[in-house]
């Protein structure tokens, strides 16, 4: 009889052991697929959350005294040319998500209430070419503003109330009141950069550029200092700006990325090892526990390679069904879980089909090794020894 049909007949007779084999392989491959095929989405989600920690690089006008800047809570009246942003992009500085800002302290009023606020004009974040472009900061429509929570309380503006705020004679509609941040932003009003340049009569001028560095991981691997590299880049581009790096924030960003990546990689490796151990062990156990049957098959005229083919076909069928079931279920669960896991990246899955194919291929290869090798070894022994060994 053909080994394929013989394997099917045998599976029909031994369906319980076959079901156990399929269930175990499906469980392991499903877990591996769940964590592996969405690796891209996972890394994007981590990157987006790390990005929202905030900017860790500030580029200031060269004339700013950094001691006074910190003493004033990160504020200075000195400005620099806005075209520095295009220069940084042209020279491909090791930065991303550049946000040019212009700020002044100005009287903000609404109705019969007024208060001095930190008025900040900013643009949408600008991504470097060929680097992640998901906006870190969105633009504020012209004629509208966002109020910090403390300034809103001073002006008597409720969170959901429709209100207008006057700044330097210009009227702005309140787009929203921001939640408490515990920083200077609570006492600020945010407007469009060009609107700020207009009302403060500072065309094409900015106070600073906030950004995210893109060198930490490479520097960590090479032993170089990220701050030195960025500072050298700024000096080559212009002598009218200085560089300020928020060391703690940069380290926090790097630590979150590296720890999450290393833990995820370790989990994947453990699952790969477990997959190999499971398939090999089950196939080996099936072959080694049936030496008597192998002896009987030899005694009735089945050759060594035909017997090996029988066990190989059985392992391939069970591993194929188990791997296909596991990968399918793992991917479906991963897609379903994307709604709760990948909130920051739009609840989208980026399924890696190459990984799914690899999982199935490895399961098949392990089935070949686990099912064929011991069967070939047993089939090479004397059938009388195999049959008699079980009856002793």
Find where tokens 């020279």 sit.
Answer: 91
- Estimate the share of the chain in helix, then strand, then coil, as percent rounded to the nearest 5: 55, 15, 25
What CA–CA distance (Å, rounded) separates 202 from 59?
Answer: 18
Ranges of the chain whose pLDDT falls below 70: 1-8, 10-14, 37-54, 131-135, 215-227, 247-262, 279, 282-284, 286-305, 308, 337-352, 364, 367-392
Q: Give the Å distances, CA to CA, from 25 to 37, 166, 282.
A: 17, 67, 9
The DSSP letter of residue 126 is B
How far apart (Å, rounded) are the C-alpha atoms in residues 275 and 253?
Answer: 33
- Determine phi and psi for 66, rounding to 5 degrees: -65, -30
- pLDDT of the residue at 289: 64
Integer Cα distance of 30 and 326 in angstroms: 4
Report d(CA 380, CA 382) in Å as an integer. Answer: 7
Give the model's pLDDT for residue 195: 94
41: part of which helix (H) or strand (E)?
helix 39-51
pLDDT of residue 219: 46
Query: 126 and 141 in contact (C-beta within 8 Å)?
Result: no
- Per residue in 48-87, pLDDT (tens digit) is 666 556 678 889 999 999 888 888 888 999 999 999 999 9
Nearest residue to 335 (alpha-carbon basis) of 32, 29, 37:
37
Q: DSSP code of 82?
A: T
33: left (phi over 0), alpha (psi -120 to 50) or beta: alpha
* Radius of gyration (C-alpha) of the chain in whole angstroms: 33
The two tokens of residue 248 are: 């703690």
Query: Which pLDDT score is estimated for 54?
Result: 66
The span from the CA of 362 to the CA of 346, in Å, is: 32
Q: What are phi and psi of 289, to 5 degrees?
A: -80, -5
What confidence score (pLDDT) does residue 112 get?
Answer: 86
Q: What does the alpha-carbon distance between residue 189 and residue 105 come to, in Å, rounded to a whole number?
A: 10
Backbone angles phi, psi at 80, to 5 degrees: -145, 170
Instruction: Write the pLDDT tens digit of every residue in 133-174.
Output: 666 778 899 999 999 999 999 999 988 888 999 999 999 999
d(CA 152, CA 352): 47
For residue 92, what are the contacts with CB-CB under 8 A and spacing of at least 6?
128, 129
């Amino acid at each position: 009889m053909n080994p394929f049909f013989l394997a099917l007949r045998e599976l029909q007779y031994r369906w319980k052991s076959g079901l156990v084999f399929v269930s175990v392989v499906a469980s392991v491959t499903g877990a591996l697929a769940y964590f592996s095929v969405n690796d891209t989405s996972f890394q994007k989600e981590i990157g987006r959350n790390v990005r929202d920690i905030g900017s860790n690089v500030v580029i200031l006008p060269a004339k700013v005294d950094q001691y006074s800047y910190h003493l004033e809570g990160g504020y200075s009246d000195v400005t620099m040319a806005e075209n520095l942003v295009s220069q940084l992009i042209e020279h491909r500085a090791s930065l991303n998500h550049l946000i040019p800002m212009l700020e002044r302290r100005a009287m903000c009023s609404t109705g019969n209430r007024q208060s001095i606020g930190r008025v900040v004009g900013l643009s949408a974040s600008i991504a470097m070419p060929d680097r992640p472009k998901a906006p870190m900061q969105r633009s504020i429509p012209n004629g509208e503003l966002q109020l910090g929570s403390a300034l809103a309380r001073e002006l008597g503006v409720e969170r959901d109330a429709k209100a207008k705020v006057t700044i330097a004679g210009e009227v702005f509609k309140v787009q929203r009141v921001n939640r408490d941040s515990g920083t200077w932003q609570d006492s600020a009003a945010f407007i469009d950069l060009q609107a700020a340049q207009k009302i403060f009569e500072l065309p094409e001028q900015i106070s600073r550029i906030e950004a995210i560095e893109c060198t930490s991981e490479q520097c960590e691997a090479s032993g170089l200092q990220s701050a030195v590299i960025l500072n050298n880049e700024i000096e080559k581009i212009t002598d009218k700006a200085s560089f300020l790096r928020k060391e703690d924030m940069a380290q926090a960003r790097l630590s979150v990325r590296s720890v999450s990546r290393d833990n995820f990689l370790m989990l994947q490796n453990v699952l790969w090892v477990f997959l190999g151990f499971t398939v090999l062990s089950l196939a080996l156990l099936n072959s080694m526990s049936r030496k008597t049957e192998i002896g009987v098959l030899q005694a009735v005229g089945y050759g060594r390679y035909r017997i090996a083919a029988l066990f190989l076909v059985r392992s391939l069928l069970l591993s194929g069904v188990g791997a296909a079931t596991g990968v399918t279920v793992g991917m479906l669960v991963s897609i379903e879980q994307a709604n709760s896991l990948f909130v920051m990246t739009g609840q989208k899955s980026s399924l890696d089909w190459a990984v799914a194919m690899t999982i199935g291929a490895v399961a098949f290869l392990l089935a070949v090794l686990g099912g064929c090798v011991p069967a070939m070894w047993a089939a090479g022994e004397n059938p009388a020894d195999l049959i008699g060994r079980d009856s002793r």
